[in-house]
Amino acid sequence: MAILVDSSTRLVVQGLTGSEGRFHGLRNRSHGTDVVAGVTPGKGGQDVEGIPIFDTVAEAVSKAGANTAMVFVPAPFASDAMYEAIDAGIGTVICITEGVPAHEMLRIHAFIAGRDVRLIGPNCPGALSPGKANVGIIPAEIFREGSIGLVSRSGTLTYQIGHELTQLGLGNSTIVGIGGDPIVGSSFIDVLALFEADPQTEYVVMVGEIGGDEEEKAAAFIESAMTKPVVAYIAGFTAPPGKTMGHAGAIISGSAGTAQAKKDALEARGVRVGTTPTETAELVAELARG
């Protein structure tokens, strides 16, 4: 088992004919993902190294059996691409694109309410279930299969902590980058709930950062609804108030959204919080080894 992406994933890449979409789509295929189609309007009938290109996602669903979409198109067109994938009946939509306007994401949130669809991103590295499927830009070669779920707002910290776990002889069930924008398709709570229900996942690592209150909400959820141990790391202890640090959502307003406030909220609910990525990985290893 795993969450979001696995051996049953049949991926359509929206933007496969572009340079970035092609590069990462083919890398996903090389790591075992079943990439069944690409979509670029006006280029239907072409192919990318044997992967058929369709004009619409609906065609990719009906003719190639796609059930998962990766959005790799420029920001001005990304919201339309997400709407198209959702309308076509895609169950999991993963948007890698950076720079999608927040007001567009608000509309998409309203659009998917009540629909049987899971949206990850935008501005995210994607999702990887080692040994099963990789959808996005996560470097699969530094991870190994195992029982630790990893959910993060930061792509690079995801890679670092995952690699630290690998160095300690541990592996991951699924790695999920939810994205660093103020409004994203899936929250920490959404992904934590999936890990809680996943038989393969025994432990969870949550990587947060300054800005917003998603980590505080997740802390309350962990206390009330999680039976699996959770270890956390919060990035941004040295960030000055009012300054955006890397991600559009990583900004402190007054006393809200600070790393210390998030750390305190998590620890108050029994979640161990590492002070560095290395210590965080070591805390998980300590739990996994009993």
State pLDDT tens for residues 189-208: 999 999 999 999 999 999 99
Name which of 13, 255, 284, 12 is nearest 151 in CA terms: 284
pLDDT for residue 244? 54
pLDDT for residue 182? 86
Widest Cα–Cα separation across the chain: 57
Cβ-proximal residues to 159 (8 Å cutoff; 6+ apart), any chain: 125, 138, 139, 142
State pLDDT tens for residues 70-99: 999 999 999 999 999 999 999 999 999 999
CA distance 104 to 181: 12
pLDDT for residue 249? 47
pLDDT for residue 256? 54
Task: Give the active site residues.
Answer: 247
State pLDDT tens for residues 91-112: 999 999 999 999 999 999 999 9
Q: In what order do the strands lie in the sheet with 203-209?
A: 133-136, 126-129, 172-177, 145-152, 203-209, 230-235, 272-274
Q: Which amino acid is at 265?
A: A
Exposed / middle / buried, residue 246 (Cβ in 10 Å: 0-12, 13-18, 19+): middle
Name which of 14, 28, 25 is nearest 60 in CA terms: 14
Contact, 229 vs 204, CB < 8 A?
A: yes
Stated pTM of the model: 0.93
DSSP 8-state assignment for residue 141: G
pLDDT beneath 50: ranges in the chain: 248-252
CA distance 177 to 150: 8
pLDDT for residue 250? 45
What domains, with CATH codes, occur in the chain? 1-123 (3.40.50.720), 143-290 (3.40.50.261)
DSSP 8-state assignment for residue 140: G
pLDDT for residue 75? 96
pLDDT for residue 213? 84
Q: Tokens 């690409």 belong to which residue?
A: 38
CA distance 121 to 235: 19
The b-or-e profile of 120-151 (16+ CB within 10 A means b, else e) is bbbbbbbbbbbbbbbbbbbbbeebeebbbbbb
